[in-house]
A and B are shown apart, each in its own frame.
Chain A
Protein backbone atom coordinates (compact mmCIF):
# COMPACT_ATOMS: atom_id res chain seq x y z
CA UNK A 1 0.00 0.00 0.00
CA UNK A 2 1.13 3.49 -0.70
CA UNK A 3 2.78 5.36 2.16
CA UNK A 4 1.45 8.85 2.80
CA UNK A 5 3.57 11.50 4.43
CA UNK A 6 0.92 13.67 6.04
CA UNK A 7 3.42 16.37 6.96
CA UNK A 8 4.49 16.71 3.34
CA UNK A 9 0.87 16.78 2.15
CA UNK A 10 0.09 19.74 4.41
CA UNK A 11 3.50 21.29 3.77
CA UNK A 12 4.39 21.54 7.48
CA UNK A 13 7.45 20.45 9.41
CA UNK A 14 7.43 17.47 11.77
CA UNK A 15 7.49 19.74 14.78
CA UNK A 16 4.72 22.06 13.61
CA UNK A 17 2.22 22.92 16.33
CA UNK A 18 -1.54 22.46 16.03
CA UNK A 19 -2.00 26.10 15.06
CA UNK A 20 0.42 25.80 12.13
CA UNK A 21 -1.29 22.60 11.03
CA UNK A 22 -4.69 24.25 11.15
CA UNK A 23 -3.46 27.26 9.18
CA UNK A 24 -1.82 25.06 6.54
CA UNK A 25 -4.95 22.93 6.23
CA UNK A 26 -7.27 25.93 5.90
CA UNK A 27 -5.09 27.50 3.24
CA UNK A 28 -5.01 24.29 1.21
CA UNK A 29 -8.72 23.64 1.79
CA UNK A 30 -9.59 27.05 0.35
CA UNK A 31 -7.54 26.21 -2.72
CA UNK A 32 -8.54 22.58 -3.28
CA UNK A 33 -12.03 22.15 -1.82
CA UNK A 34 -14.09 20.66 -4.68
CA UNK A 35 -17.06 22.87 -3.80
CA UNK A 36 -14.94 25.97 -4.30
CA UNK A 37 -12.81 24.84 -7.21
CA UNK A 38 -14.61 23.11 -10.07
CA UNK A 39 -11.39 21.93 -11.77
CA UNK A 40 -11.03 18.21 -12.35
CA UNK A 41 -8.93 16.19 -9.91
CA UNK A 42 -9.18 18.61 -6.98
CA UNK A 43 -11.54 16.17 -5.20
CA UNK A 44 -8.81 13.56 -4.83
CA UNK A 45 -6.29 16.18 -3.81
CA UNK A 46 -8.64 17.56 -1.16
CA UNK A 47 -9.36 14.06 0.18
CA UNK A 48 -5.62 13.64 0.78
CA UNK A 49 -5.39 17.04 2.49
CA UNK A 50 -8.43 16.32 4.71
CA UNK A 51 -6.98 12.93 5.64
CA UNK A 52 -3.63 14.50 6.56
CA UNK A 53 -5.47 17.04 8.74
CA UNK A 54 -7.58 14.35 10.44
CA UNK A 55 -4.36 12.64 11.50
CA UNK A 56 -2.17 15.59 12.42
CA UNK A 57 -4.76 17.63 14.35
CA UNK A 58 -5.38 14.72 16.72
CA UNK A 59 -2.55 14.15 19.22
CA UNK A 60 -3.20 10.39 19.50
CA UNK A 61 -3.33 9.77 15.79
CA UNK A 62 -0.37 12.04 15.18
CA UNK A 63 1.78 10.14 17.72
CA UNK A 64 0.89 6.90 16.04
CA UNK A 65 1.74 8.28 12.63
CA UNK A 66 5.08 9.63 13.94
CA UNK A 67 5.91 6.13 15.14
CA UNK A 68 5.22 4.71 11.68
CA UNK A 69 7.19 7.50 10.08
CA UNK A 70 10.20 6.72 12.22
CA UNK A 71 10.21 2.93 12.12
CA UNK A 72 8.13 1.84 9.12
CA UNK A 73 9.53 0.78 5.74
CA UNK A 74 8.52 3.42 3.19
CA UNK A 75 10.41 1.85 0.28
CA UNK A 76 9.09 1.93 -3.25
CA UNK A 77 7.78 -1.66 -2.90
CA UNK A 78 5.04 -0.25 -0.76
CA UNK A 79 4.62 0.67 2.84
CA UNK A 80 5.23 -1.94 5.58
CA UNK A 81 4.53 -1.19 9.23
CA UNK A 82 7.45 -1.60 11.65
CA UNK A 83 8.13 -5.20 12.78
CA UNK A 84 6.03 -6.17 15.77
CA UNK A 85 3.86 -3.12 15.33
CA UNK A 86 0.17 -3.78 15.80
CA UNK A 87 -2.89 -1.83 15.04
CA UNK A 88 -4.38 -0.51 18.20
CA UNK A 89 -7.84 -2.00 18.17
CA UNK A 90 -8.96 0.00 21.14
CA UNK A 91 -7.65 3.44 20.51
CA UNK A 92 -10.67 4.42 18.42
CA UNK A 93 -14.11 3.03 18.04
CA UNK A 94 -13.52 1.00 14.91
CA UNK A 95 -16.19 0.75 12.30
CA UNK A 96 -16.15 -2.62 10.52
CA UNK A 97 -16.77 -0.74 7.31
CA UNK A 98 -13.49 0.92 6.35
CA UNK A 99 -14.30 4.54 5.79
CA UNK A 100 -14.49 5.32 2.11
CA UNK A 101 -13.35 8.87 2.89
CA UNK A 102 -9.88 7.66 3.71
CA UNK A 103 -7.05 5.83 1.99
CA UNK A 104 -6.10 2.19 2.63
CA UNK A 105 -3.02 3.55 4.37
CA UNK A 106 -5.16 5.51 6.86
CA UNK A 107 -7.55 2.62 7.43
CA UNK A 108 -4.66 0.20 8.01
CA UNK A 109 -3.15 2.38 10.72
CA UNK A 110 -6.27 3.47 12.49
CA UNK A 111 -7.83 0.03 12.81
CA UNK A 112 -10.48 -0.22 10.23
CA UNK A 113 -11.51 3.35 9.87
CA UNK A 114 -12.80 5.41 12.71
CA UNK A 115 -15.95 6.73 14.15
CA UNK A 116 -17.83 8.48 11.37
CA UNK A 117 -19.31 10.91 13.87
CA UNK A 118 -16.23 13.03 13.18
CA UNK A 119 -17.70 13.74 9.80
CA UNK A 120 -21.39 13.30 10.13
CA UNK A 121 -22.15 13.96 13.75
CA UNK A 122 -24.02 10.71 14.08
CA UNK A 123 -23.53 7.77 16.39
CA UNK A 124 -21.40 4.99 15.00
CA UNK A 125 -23.40 2.19 13.49
CA UNK A 126 -22.56 -1.24 12.13
CA UNK A 127 -24.67 -0.90 9.05
CA UNK A 128 -24.54 2.14 6.92
CA UNK A 129 -26.30 3.55 3.92
CA UNK A 130 -24.45 3.56 0.61
CA UNK A 131 -23.14 6.81 -0.76
CA UNK A 132 -25.05 8.87 -3.28
CA UNK A 133 -23.65 8.86 -6.79
CA UNK A 134 -23.82 11.74 -9.26
CA UNK A 135 -23.70 11.29 -13.00
CA UNK A 136 -24.26 13.54 -15.98
CA UNK A 137 -26.92 13.07 -18.65
CA UNK A 138 -26.50 14.96 -21.92
CA UNK A 139 -29.66 15.92 -23.85
CA UNK A 140 -30.42 17.97 -26.92
CA UNK A 141 -32.65 21.05 -26.74
CA UNK A 142 -35.36 19.33 -28.80
CA UNK A 143 -35.47 16.47 -26.33
CA UNK A 144 -36.54 18.84 -23.56
CA UNK A 145 -39.78 19.68 -25.40
CA UNK A 146 -41.36 16.31 -24.62
CA UNK A 147 -41.07 13.66 -21.96
CA UNK A 148 -38.23 11.28 -22.88
CA UNK A 149 -37.15 7.80 -21.97
CA UNK A 150 -33.37 7.92 -21.77
CA UNK A 151 -30.86 5.19 -21.05
CA UNK A 152 -28.29 6.31 -18.52
CA UNK A 153 -24.92 4.56 -18.31
CA UNK A 154 -22.89 5.08 -15.18
CA UNK A 155 -20.18 3.50 -13.06
CA UNK A 156 -20.86 2.45 -9.51
CA UNK A 157 -17.97 2.07 -7.05
CA UNK A 158 -18.45 -1.16 -5.10
CA UNK A 159 -16.32 -2.27 -2.13
CA UNK A 160 -15.54 -5.94 -1.78
CA UNK A 161 -13.03 -7.41 0.64
CA UNK A 162 -11.64 -3.98 1.45
CA UNK A 163 -11.03 -3.16 -2.22
CA UNK A 164 -13.02 -0.83 -4.39
CA UNK A 165 -13.80 -1.52 -8.02
CA UNK A 166 -16.32 -0.04 -10.41
CA UNK A 167 -19.20 -1.83 -12.04
CA UNK A 168 -21.01 -0.54 -15.12
CA UNK A 169 -24.73 -0.01 -14.80
CA UNK A 170 -27.48 1.20 -17.06
CA UNK A 171 -30.98 2.40 -16.29
CA UNK A 172 -33.94 3.51 -18.34
CA UNK A 173 -35.23 6.75 -16.95
CA UNK A 174 -38.25 8.88 -17.65
CA UNK A 175 -37.11 12.47 -18.09
CA UNK A 176 -39.96 14.96 -17.73
CA UNK A 177 -40.75 17.62 -20.29
CA UNK A 178 -38.95 20.91 -19.86
CA UNK A 179 -35.84 19.94 -17.90
CA UNK A 180 -33.26 22.71 -17.83
CA UNK A 181 -29.48 22.73 -17.94
CA UNK A 182 -28.04 21.94 -14.51
CA UNK A 183 -31.26 20.40 -13.16
CA UNK A 184 -30.82 17.43 -10.84
CA UNK A 185 -33.04 14.37 -10.81
CA UNK A 186 -32.97 11.98 -7.89
CA UNK A 187 -33.38 8.23 -8.34
CA UNK A 188 -33.90 6.56 -5.03
CA UNK A 189 -31.78 3.53 -4.17
CA UNK A 190 -29.71 3.52 -7.37
CA UNK A 191 -26.50 4.75 -5.75
CA UNK A 192 -23.73 2.84 -4.00
CA UNK A 193 -24.88 -0.31 -2.14
CA UNK A 194 -25.15 -0.04 1.64
CA UNK A 195 -22.96 -1.91 4.10
CA UNK A 196 -24.19 -4.57 6.52
CA UNK A 197 -27.80 -4.45 5.35
CA UNK A 198 -27.88 -0.65 5.08
CA UNK A 199 -29.92 0.95 2.32
CA UNK A 200 -28.28 1.83 -0.98
CA UNK A 201 -27.60 5.50 -1.71
CA UNK A 202 -29.40 7.51 -4.38
CA UNK A 203 -28.38 8.35 -7.91
CA UNK A 204 -28.48 12.03 -8.83
CA UNK A 205 -28.69 12.75 -12.54
CA UNK A 206 -27.21 16.07 -13.49
CA UNK A 207 -28.83 17.26 -16.73
CA UNK A 208 -26.56 18.90 -19.30
CA UNK A 209 -28.19 20.41 -22.38
CA UNK A 210 -25.92 20.32 -25.42
CA UNK A 211 -25.27 23.52 -27.37
CA UNK A 212 -27.50 23.96 -30.42
CA UNK A 213 -26.07 25.17 -33.74
CA UNK A 214 -28.67 27.98 -33.92
CA UNK A 215 -30.39 28.49 -30.58
CA UNK A 216 -28.93 29.76 -27.31
CA UNK A 217 -30.74 29.30 -24.00
CA UNK A 218 -31.48 31.91 -21.34
CA UNK A 219 -33.49 30.27 -18.55
CA UNK A 220 -36.72 29.26 -20.34
CA UNK A 221 -36.22 31.47 -23.34
CA UNK A 222 -34.43 30.73 -26.59
CA UNK A 223 -32.34 33.25 -28.49
CA UNK A 224 -31.87 33.07 -32.26
CA UNK A 225 -29.57 35.44 -34.15
CA UNK A 226 -31.17 36.48 -37.46
CA UNK A 227 -28.79 37.77 -40.16
CA UNK A 228 -30.34 40.39 -42.45
CA UNK A 229 -29.00 42.23 -45.50
CA UNK A 230 -28.71 46.03 -45.12
CA UNK A 231 -31.60 46.52 -47.59
CA UNK A 232 -33.83 44.03 -45.72
CA UNK A 233 -33.16 45.95 -42.52
CA UNK A 234 -33.69 49.32 -44.23
CA UNK A 235 -36.78 48.51 -46.27
CA UNK A 236 -38.41 45.94 -44.01
CA UNK A 237 -39.24 42.37 -45.04
CA UNK A 238 -40.83 39.08 -44.07
CA UNK A 239 -38.49 36.27 -42.97
CA UNK A 240 -39.23 32.67 -42.08
CA UNK A 241 -37.21 31.57 -39.06
CA UNK A 242 -36.88 28.10 -37.52
CA UNK A 243 -38.22 27.33 -34.05
CA UNK A 244 -37.37 24.20 -32.04
CA UNK A 245 -40.44 22.41 -33.36
CA UNK A 246 -41.32 24.13 -36.63
CA UNK A 247 -41.04 27.60 -38.16
CA UNK A 248 -42.64 31.05 -37.96
CA UNK A 249 -42.75 34.00 -40.35
CA UNK A 250 -41.66 37.32 -38.89
CA UNK A 251 -42.38 40.79 -40.18
CA UNK A 252 -39.29 42.98 -40.01
CA UNK A 253 -40.18 46.66 -39.85
CA UNK A 254 -38.36 49.20 -42.04
CA UNK A 255 -35.20 50.72 -40.45
CA UNK A 256 -34.57 47.82 -38.04
CA UNK A 257 -31.21 48.12 -36.29
CA UNK A 258 -28.68 45.39 -35.55
CA UNK A 259 -29.25 44.15 -32.01
CA UNK A 260 -33.03 44.70 -32.12
CA UNK A 261 -34.81 41.90 -30.25
CA UNK A 262 -38.12 40.53 -31.50
CA UNK A 263 -40.18 38.32 -29.23
CA UNK A 264 -42.05 35.27 -30.51
CA UNK A 265 -44.33 34.34 -27.65
CA UNK A 266 -44.46 30.75 -26.44
CA UNK A 267 -41.78 29.39 -28.77
CA UNK A 268 -39.15 28.91 -26.07
CA UNK A 269 -38.64 25.93 -23.79
CA UNK A 270 -41.63 24.19 -22.27
CA UNK A 271 -42.19 23.41 -18.62
CA UNK A 272 -45.23 22.21 -16.75
CA UNK A 273 -46.04 25.66 -15.40
CA UNK A 274 -44.13 27.92 -17.78
CA UNK A 275 -43.71 28.43 -21.48
CA UNK A 276 -40.65 30.37 -22.55
CA UNK A 277 -40.40 32.74 -25.51
CA UNK A 278 -38.15 32.85 -28.56
CA UNK A 279 -36.14 36.05 -28.92
CA UNK A 280 -34.89 36.84 -32.41
CA UNK A 281 -31.90 39.21 -32.43
CA UNK A 282 -31.25 41.09 -35.66
CA UNK A 283 -27.72 41.10 -37.08
CA UNK A 284 -27.27 43.26 -40.19
CA UNK A 285 -24.54 41.87 -42.42
CA UNK A 286 -22.71 43.83 -45.11
CA UNK A 287 -22.11 41.61 -48.16
CA UNK A 288 -18.46 40.52 -47.99
CA UNK A 289 -17.89 40.84 -51.73
CA UNK A 290 -19.11 43.60 -53.99
CA UNK A 291 -19.39 44.19 -57.74
CA UNK A 292 -19.29 47.41 -59.78
CA UNK A 293 -23.05 47.79 -59.82
CA UNK A 294 -23.36 47.35 -56.08
CA UNK A 295 -20.52 49.77 -55.41
CA UNK A 296 -22.21 52.33 -57.62
CA UNK A 297 -25.48 51.94 -55.70
CA UNK A 298 -23.72 52.34 -52.34
CA UNK A 299 -21.99 55.47 -53.66
CA UNK A 300 -25.31 56.88 -54.76
CA UNK A 301 -26.77 56.18 -51.34
CA UNK A 302 -23.78 57.85 -49.70
CA UNK A 303 -24.29 60.97 -51.80
CA UNK A 304 -27.99 61.19 -50.95
CA UNK A 305 -27.84 60.46 -47.22
CA UNK A 306 -27.05 62.97 -44.51
CA UNK A 307 -27.01 60.27 -41.84
CA UNK A 308 -24.07 60.47 -39.40
CA UNK A 309 -23.88 57.54 -36.96
CA UNK A 310 -21.03 59.27 -35.05
CA UNK A 311 -22.87 62.44 -34.26
CA UNK A 312 -22.46 61.91 -30.50
CA UNK A 313 -18.66 61.90 -30.92
CA UNK A 314 -18.70 65.55 -31.91
CA UNK A 315 -17.09 67.01 -28.79
CA UNK A 316 -14.29 64.41 -28.75
CA UNK A 317 -13.08 65.08 -32.26
Chain B
Protein backbone atom coordinates (compact mmCIF):
# COMPACT_ATOMS: atom_id res chain seq x y z
CA UNK B 1 0.00 0.00 0.00
CA UNK B 2 1.30 3.41 -0.93
CA UNK B 3 1.71 6.27 1.48
CA UNK B 4 -0.19 9.30 0.36
CA UNK B 5 1.73 12.56 0.49
CA UNK B 6 -0.18 15.76 0.81
CA UNK B 7 2.56 18.25 1.54
CA UNK B 8 5.75 19.26 -0.31
CA UNK B 9 8.41 21.51 1.18
CA UNK B 10 9.99 24.38 -0.76
CA UNK B 11 13.28 22.51 -0.97
CA UNK B 12 11.68 19.33 -2.19
CA UNK B 13 9.72 21.26 -4.79
CA UNK B 14 12.88 22.93 -6.11
CA UNK B 15 14.80 19.66 -6.27
CA UNK B 16 12.05 17.45 -7.59
CA UNK B 17 10.42 19.74 -10.09
CA UNK B 18 13.57 21.68 -11.01
CA UNK B 19 11.94 24.95 -10.10
CA UNK B 20 14.17 27.70 -8.80
CA UNK B 21 13.31 28.91 -5.31
CA UNK B 22 13.17 32.58 -6.36
CA UNK B 23 10.47 31.63 -8.88
CA UNK B 24 8.42 30.05 -6.10
CA UNK B 25 8.92 33.17 -3.98
CA UNK B 26 7.62 35.30 -6.91
CA UNK B 27 4.64 32.95 -7.26
CA UNK B 28 3.79 33.30 -3.56
CA UNK B 29 4.42 37.07 -3.51
CA UNK B 30 2.09 37.50 -6.48
CA UNK B 31 -0.61 35.61 -4.61
CA UNK B 32 -0.84 32.69 -7.03
CA UNK B 33 -0.55 30.14 -4.22
CA UNK B 34 -0.31 30.32 -0.44
CA UNK B 35 2.09 28.20 1.59
CA UNK B 36 0.39 26.12 4.27
CA UNK B 37 2.15 27.92 7.11
CA UNK B 38 3.25 31.51 6.63
CA UNK B 39 6.67 31.12 8.24
CA UNK B 40 10.06 31.94 6.69
CA UNK B 41 10.23 31.06 3.02
CA UNK B 42 12.74 28.30 3.75
CA UNK B 43 10.10 26.55 5.89
CA UNK B 44 7.30 26.86 3.35
CA UNK B 45 5.19 23.83 2.60
CA UNK B 46 2.62 23.44 -0.16
CA UNK B 47 -0.36 21.16 -0.69
CA UNK B 48 -0.76 19.18 -3.92
CA UNK B 49 -3.23 21.65 -5.36
CA UNK B 50 -0.69 24.48 -4.91
CA UNK B 51 1.97 22.32 -6.58
CA UNK B 52 -0.34 21.99 -9.58
CA UNK B 53 -0.67 25.79 -9.84
CA UNK B 54 3.04 26.40 -9.21
CA UNK B 55 3.96 24.07 -12.08
CA UNK B 56 1.40 25.74 -14.31
CA UNK B 57 2.70 29.20 -13.36
CA UNK B 58 6.30 28.24 -14.18
CA UNK B 59 5.26 26.79 -17.56
CA UNK B 60 3.29 29.94 -18.44
CA UNK B 61 6.13 32.22 -17.32
CA UNK B 62 8.64 30.37 -19.47
CA UNK B 63 6.56 29.36 -22.48
CA UNK B 64 4.73 32.66 -22.94
CA UNK B 65 7.72 34.77 -21.86
CA UNK B 66 5.56 36.87 -19.54
CA UNK B 67 6.35 38.40 -16.15
CA UNK B 68 4.98 37.12 -12.84
CA UNK B 69 2.30 39.79 -12.54
CA UNK B 70 0.92 38.72 -15.92
CA UNK B 71 1.17 35.07 -14.87
CA UNK B 72 -0.80 35.88 -11.70
CA UNK B 73 -3.50 37.69 -13.68
CA UNK B 74 -3.67 34.84 -16.18
CA UNK B 75 -3.98 32.20 -13.47
CA UNK B 76 -6.63 34.27 -11.74
CA UNK B 77 -8.61 34.34 -14.98
CA UNK B 78 -8.05 30.61 -15.59
CA UNK B 79 -9.35 29.86 -12.08
CA UNK B 80 -12.34 32.14 -12.62
CA UNK B 81 -13.03 30.46 -15.95
CA UNK B 82 -12.79 26.98 -14.37
CA UNK B 83 -15.08 27.99 -11.55
CA UNK B 84 -17.64 29.54 -13.95
CA UNK B 85 -17.45 26.41 -16.09
CA UNK B 86 -18.21 24.23 -13.04
CA UNK B 87 -21.04 26.57 -12.03
CA UNK B 88 -22.46 26.52 -15.55
CA UNK B 89 -22.42 22.70 -15.61
CA UNK B 90 -24.11 22.62 -12.19
CA UNK B 91 -26.90 24.97 -13.25
CA UNK B 92 -27.39 23.21 -16.59
CA UNK B 93 -27.79 19.94 -14.71
CA UNK B 94 -30.26 21.59 -12.29
CA UNK B 95 -32.23 22.96 -15.22
CA UNK B 96 -32.39 19.50 -16.79
CA UNK B 97 -33.69 18.07 -13.53
CA UNK B 98 -36.34 20.82 -13.35
CA UNK B 99 -37.57 20.41 -16.89
CA UNK B 100 -37.30 16.68 -17.55
CA UNK B 101 -40.88 15.93 -16.40
On A, residues with C-beta under 8 Å from B are 26, 29-30, 33, 35-36, 46, 50, 116, 119-122, 129, 132, 149, 171-174, 176, 183-188, 190, 199, 201-202, 204, 211, 216-218, 223, 225, 227, 258, 281, 283, 285, 288
Q: Does B59 contact A (CB under 8 A)?
A: yes
User: B16 touches which one: A121, A129, A223 (CB < 8 A)?
Assistant: A129
- List of A residues within 8 angstroms of B3 by Cβ: 188
Q: A174-B1, A184-B48, A185-B4 are in contact. Are A33 and B101 (CB under 8 A)?
A: no
- List of A residues within 8 angstroms of B93 by Cβ: 211, 216
Nearest residue, chain B, Cβ from A176: B4
User: B2 touches which one: A116, A174, A216 (CB < 8 A)?
Assistant: A174
On B, residues with C-beta under 8 Å from A are 1-6, 8, 15-20, 23, 48-49, 51-52, 56, 59-60, 62-65, 74, 78, 90, 93-94, 97-98, 101
> Once the chains bind, are A122 and B18 in contact (CB under 8 Å)?
yes
Closest chain-A Cβ to B59's Cβ sits at a distance in Å of 6
The docked-state distance in angstroms from the alpha carbon of A26 to that of B66 is: 10
- List of B residues within 8 angstroms of A174 by Cβ: 1-2, 4
The docked-state distance in angstroms from the alpha carbon of A223 to that of B3 is: 33
> Once the chains bind, are A184 and B4 in contact (CB under 8 Å)?
no
The docked-state distance in angstroms from the alpha carbon of A129 to that of B93 is: 43
> Once the chains bind, are B20 and A121 in contact (CB under 8 Å)?
yes
User: B60 touches which one: A35, A120, A129 (CB < 8 A)?
Assistant: A35
The docked-state distance in angstroms from the alpha carbon of A29 to that of B93 is: 34
> Once the chains bind, are A190 and B20 in contact (CB under 8 Å)?
no
Q: A30-B64, A211-B93, A218-B90 are in contact. Are A35 and B1 (CB under 8 A)?
A: no
- List of B residues within 8 angstroms of A288 by Cβ: 101
Question: Which of A36, A50, A149, A204 has the most CB atoms of chain B within a 10 A radius of its CB?
Answer: A36
User: B63 touches which one: A29, A122, A199, A227 (CB < 8 A)?
Assistant: A29
- List of B residues within 8 angstroms of A281 by Cβ: 94
